[in-house]
DNA sequence: AATGAATGAGCCTTCATTCAT
DNA sequence: GATGAATGAAGGCTCATTCAT
């Protein structure tokens, strides 16, 4: 009868809003990545949290607000990691190879993020509408490629008409697909491309393909 | 009164189970593609149908059964269209170019299918487990590439170590990403790659990249 | 934790939708009359019912739908009772006296209805918008007065300019106020007008006032 | 983020408890009059205020305390205005006519107060229990009528058995009903009695009725 | 084979209020 | 005295599904 969906929880860290929010976000991220926006259950998120359902609404407004916060945080987190890569001074072909391989590994290491992006695409990117500071974060990715391309063209090893944006698009496509479509691909064509060994080869293969795709030929 | 659980519908074609099922499937496909498995509402599917909620359960068991049927039907439909392409007798580079371009266009023309596949990947391909005749359908895709590669290698224009499976993987990655990730990509980097004009260039670009990726060099 | 607000209930009369609806309506009427639209709790209504929360929504759509049904039913019920009065053949002054006294008693006997009307007025009559068959029911009330007035005028005992509608308005005002405003009037001026004895006098007083108000004077 | 529980507000007049309370009361009165006790939302009241939710509880204890304060203030405000009328020296019939017309207009001009009283009646006058100084205020209303009646009887134009209290009751009934039941009356019988023109006639009609009701006849 | 009626379980959200300084 | 942060308790509503014929 009486529906009371409160939950007992330790009051150990009360009075630290940021910690509470972070706690919620961490769990929410996992749940949204696992079940999608409509599939995730606030109750289930909260049960794995030191917080309460009420707090979710207090801090994030509603379910979509929480989802949006998760998405934003996910993007922010990803970009930070990307900046770890240092390609300065490398010859352009080498740099591109390294960038592709790094991206490939990076995507593989962050399947949860990939899932969130896939989910957000199902929602037609609707929830990214007002994530203003996203553009800045993404510009960095393009700038890296702009540098590589400029050098490559200047050195005469890249075609003069290579487009950093398209190149980024191609790298993303390959690396994203590898994680995001793994399951259906596996069901259709077997698991042979997804052993650790095979992934190394696959990575080499796509790195090579992308390099050959931009290489200037006499 | 009487909430929308029940609905009036014209009983014109009653007594034709297959037609009823097909009617349901058509609508269900759209709804699942639009909202995902958990996001789709049986109620909403049924409202756009000449059938009733009860019939959905009668014919498909439960929501997942319906989703599974939609997915299976979607895969079946897709493969039929693919067989329209005739590459026999074309030189391998030309054939590959044509195949890539065809696949690119094909994916673009079937965003609903792409969404269904993306959704199924969110669910880790869990619902394709028992789609037995899928393997056969997919084999065709690989066989086309095997022929092209075999010829290309024999003629000395493709690297001898090209893998038809990896090549298929790469083609799929590019073409799938173009449709599936369009929304987040757009939010991050603008729409410039998605005008009809730009898509033509992009298609050319990835076709070239993939060809250069397999080409044997002296 | 888990919020489950189901309730156990005897399944004795399942399969009789009208009985179930009537059961709900009866209780809902009491609860709405007691606490108003926003003050009433579906849970509390349902607890006094042989039915479940789910059934309320099934039969009435939402809380407002239930409220609307209660209101409509209340109006219908009232009008039926009113038709019990037979004034045919009575001299007009006598008829009017009887009508006023009957209405006075009738209102006193139906405080729940009066409360519902008062509540609906707080809502600015918003929920009566689509109660189409209400007009017909009300016409009867006016017709009775039209007959009385016509006779009274013809016989030269009523002023020729009496308005049946205004007369109805005046009767309603007095009889409604007696029930609806009893509480604040009592707080302000004591209970002396509300003993059974005093109510009889009051009834006589207002009947006389209304008769004198229409009487033609030489 | 941070749901709307807290609100920014200009702190211009902080440190003036009475002003803060008055500010809250003004808004609360409107909200309670509009939505009733249970229908009004503290949140919504506070949003239109220069104050905070916390202050409401600080100054008024709880929602009911605020409501009570609103009600008390409303009664106080009304009586002040009533004292504007000066009937001294007028012949009793004239005085009564004037009083009725004044009351009619006065009620029409204060629909918010009328609604508050109607609402309080829905609550069975429960919140007026401890409004001690109310009695004094109301006595004035009766006293006016006592004077009129006394004169009327003395002059032989009023029946010797007229009751000032019942007369007050009748005046209130008519004038209150006109404002409070306007909505349901309109839904049932159309708007014809509520145009400015018709209201003037109606006012004349009830004034006459009430005068005829007390007039001594040979 | 086919279907209208009914429903258990749980969802997201909101409310007035108290905690802690 | 004054207030920002936090919250217990429930509230209305919706979901896929089963009952009963």
pLDDT value, residue D6: 46
Cα(A108)–Cα(A128) distance, integer angstroms: 23
Mean predicted confidence (pLDDT) in D118-144: 86
Output the furthest CA–CA distance in chain C (Å, rounded).
80
Nearest protein residue by Cα to C1' of nucleotide E6? C55
For chain B, say whether A132 makes contact (Cβ under 8 Å). no
Residue recorded with tokens 């902080």: D14
- How far apart are the CA of D103 and the nearest CA of chain C, in angstroms? 15
Helix (H, G, I), strand (E, B) or coil at C158: strand
Write out pLDDT tens, residues D25-59. Answer: 999 999 999 999 999 999 999 999 999 999 999 99
pLDDT at D75 over 70: yes
pLDDT at B207 over 90: yes
Write out pLDDT tens, residues A156-172. Answer: 999 999 999 999 999 99
pLDDT value, residue B1: 35
Buried b (16+ CB within 10 A) or exposed e, C57-68: bbbbbebebbbb
pLDDT at A14 over 60: no
C-proximal residues of B, 3-22, CB under 8 Å: 3, 5
pLDDT value, residue A81: 77
**DSSP string covering C70-119:** HHHHHHHHHHHHHTT---TTS-HHHHHHHHHHHHHHHHHH-HHHHHHHHH
Q: Check: CB of residue A206 under 8 Å from CB of residue A174.
A: yes
Residue recorded with tokens 């009232």: C78
Q: Check: CB of residue A1 under 8 Å from CB of residue C7.
A: yes
Which is higher by pLDDT, A206 or A79? A206
Token pair for residue B186?
Answer: 């757009």
pLDDT value, residue A137: 77
Write out pLDDT tens, residues B53-80. Answer: 999 999 999 999 999 999 999 998 887 7
Alpha helices, H only, A40-159: 42-47, 53-60, 63-82, 92-109, 111-122, 134-154
Cα(B72)–Cα(B66) distance, integer angstroms: 10
Cα(C32)–Cα(A111) distance, integer angstroms: 53
Q: Check: CB of residue C77 under 8 Å from CB of residue C134.
A: no
* % of chain A at pLDDT higher than 70: 93
Å between CA of A3 and C1' of F13: 14
Mean predicted confidence (pLDDT) in C149-159: 97
What residue segments make up the domains of chain C, in order of their start?
16-61, 73-214
Which pLDDT band, with edges at 50, 70 and 90, does D15 fall under?
low
Cα(A212)–Cα(B209) distance, integer angstroms: 7
Cα(D196)–Cα(D192) distance, integer angstroms: 10
CA distances, D137 to each of A61, C201, D77 (Å)? 48, 26, 10
| Strand stretches in chain C, DSSP E | none
**Which of C118, C119, C104, C172 shows the shortest CA–CA distance to C141?**
C172
Which pLDDT band, with edges at 50, 70 and 90, does C2 fall under?
very low
pLDDT value, residue D4: 44
Averaged confidence pLDDT in chain B: 90
Using CB atoms within 10 A of its CB, is residue A130 exposed (0-12), middle (13-18) or buried (19+)?
exposed
Token pair for residue A107?
Answer: 């995507």
Q: Check: CB of residue A203 under 8 Å from CB of residue A101.
A: yes
Q: Which nucleotides of E are covered by protein (CB under 7 A)?
A: 1-21
Q: Per CATH, the architecture of C16-61 is what? A: Orthogonal Bundle (1.10)
pLDDT at C1 over 80: no
Q: Do C183 and D37 make contact, defined as CB atoms within 8 angstroms?
A: no
Which range among A108-112, B13-17, B32-36, D106-110 shows the weakest confidence by mean pLDDT? B13-17
pLDDT at B10 over 70: no
Residue recorded with tokens 């393909």: A209
Residue recorded with tokens 């006293």: D143
- Interface partners of chain A (CB pairs < 8 Å, 3 or more) are B, C, D
- How far apart are the CA of A102 and the nearest CA of chain B, in angstroms? 18
pLDDT at C12 over 70: no
Mean predicted confidence (pLDDT) in B26-38: 97
Helix or strand run (H / E) with residue D215? none
pLDDT at C7 over 80: no
Q: What's this model's pTM, rounded to 2 decimal places? A: 0.89
Q: Check: CB of residue A68 under 8 Å from CB of residue A125.
A: no
Which pLDDT band, with edges at 50, 70 and 90, does C179 fall under?
very high
Write out pLDDT tens, residues A40-97. Answer: 999 999 999 989 999 999 999 999 999 999 999 999 888 877 778 889 899 999 999 9
* % of chain B at pLDDT higher than 90: 76
Averaged confidence pLDDT in chain A: 90
pLDDT value, residue A96: 97
pLDDT value, residue D130: 74
Non-local (6+) Cβ contacts of D118 within 8 A are: C118, C121, C122, C180, C181, D180
Residue recorded with tokens 């391309």: A149
Averaged confidence pLDDT in chain C: 90
The distance from CA D184 to its chain's CA centroid, rounded to whole angstroms, is: 19
Nearest protein residue by Cα to C1' of nucleotide F21? C15
Residue of C nearest to B6 (CA): C58
Which pLDDT band, with edges at 50, 70 and 90, does A8 fall under?
very low
Q: From the candidates D74, D187, D204, which should be mutated to test the interface with C, based on the most C CB atoms within 10 A?
A: D187
User: What CATH class has D73-214?
Assistant: mainly alpha
B42 CB less than 7 Å from any atom of strand F: yes
pLDDT value, residue A142: 92
pLDDT value, residue C5: 44
Q: Check: CB of residue A9 under 8 Å from CB of residue A51.
A: yes
pLDDT value, residue D205: 98
Which range among B113-117, B118-122, C67-71, C83-87 shows the weakest confidence by mean pLDDT? C83-87
Helix (H, G, I), strand (E, B) or coil at A194: coil
pLDDT value, residue C6: 40
pLDDT at D134 over 80: no
Which is higher by pLDDT, D11 or C44? C44
Residues 52-71 of D with CB under 7 A from strand F: 52-55, 58
Write out pLDDT tens, residues A119-150. Answer: 999 999 999 987 877 877 788 889 999 999 99
Alpha helices, H only, chain B: 17-39, 42-47, 53-60, 63-82, 92-109, 111-122, 134-154, 164-180, 182-189, 196-214
User: Helix axis angle, B164-180 relative to B92-109, nearest 10°?
Assistant: 30
Chains D, B in contact, 3 or more Cβ pairs below 8 Å: no
pLDDT value, residue C15: 57
Q: Collect all residues of chain A within an 8 Å Cβ-Cβ radius of residue B124.
A: 183
Q: From the candidates B44, B76, B158, B205, which should be mutated to test the interface with A, based on the most A CB atoms within 10 A?
A: B205
pLDDT at D13 over 70: no
Averaged confidence pLDDT in chain D: 90
**Which of D56, D55, D159, D179 shows the shortest CA–CA distance to D115?**
D179
Cα(B32)–Cα(B23) distance, integer angstroms: 14
How many A/D residue pairs have CB atoms within 8 Å?
Answer: 12
């Amino acid at each position: 009868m009486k529906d009371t969906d409160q939950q007992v929880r330790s009051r150990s860290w009360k009075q630290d809003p940021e910690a509470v929010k972070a706690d919620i976000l961490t769990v929410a991220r996992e749940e949204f990545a696992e079940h999608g926006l409509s599939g995730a259950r606030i109750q289930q998120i909260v049960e794995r949290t030191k917080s309460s359902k009420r707090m979710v609404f207090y801090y994030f407004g509603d379910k979509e607000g929480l989802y949006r916060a998760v998405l934003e945080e996910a993007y922010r987190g990803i970009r930070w990691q990307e900046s770890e890569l240092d390609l300065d001074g490398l010859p352009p072909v080498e740099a591109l190879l390294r960038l592709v391989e790094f991206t490939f590994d990076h995507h593989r290491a962050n399947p949860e993020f990939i899932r969130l992006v896939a989910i957000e695409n199902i929602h037609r990117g609707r929830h990214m509408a007002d994530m203003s500071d996203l553009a800045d974060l993404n510009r960095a990715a393009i700038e890296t490629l702009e540098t590589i391309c400029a050098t490559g063209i200047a050195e005469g090893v890249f075609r003069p008409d290579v487009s950093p944006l398209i190149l980024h698009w191609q790298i993303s496509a390959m690396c994203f697909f590898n994680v995001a479509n793994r399951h259906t691909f596996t069901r259709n064509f077997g698991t042979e491309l997804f052993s650790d060994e095979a992934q190394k080869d696959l990575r080499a293969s796509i790195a090579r393909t992308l390099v050959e795709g931009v290489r200037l030929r006499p």
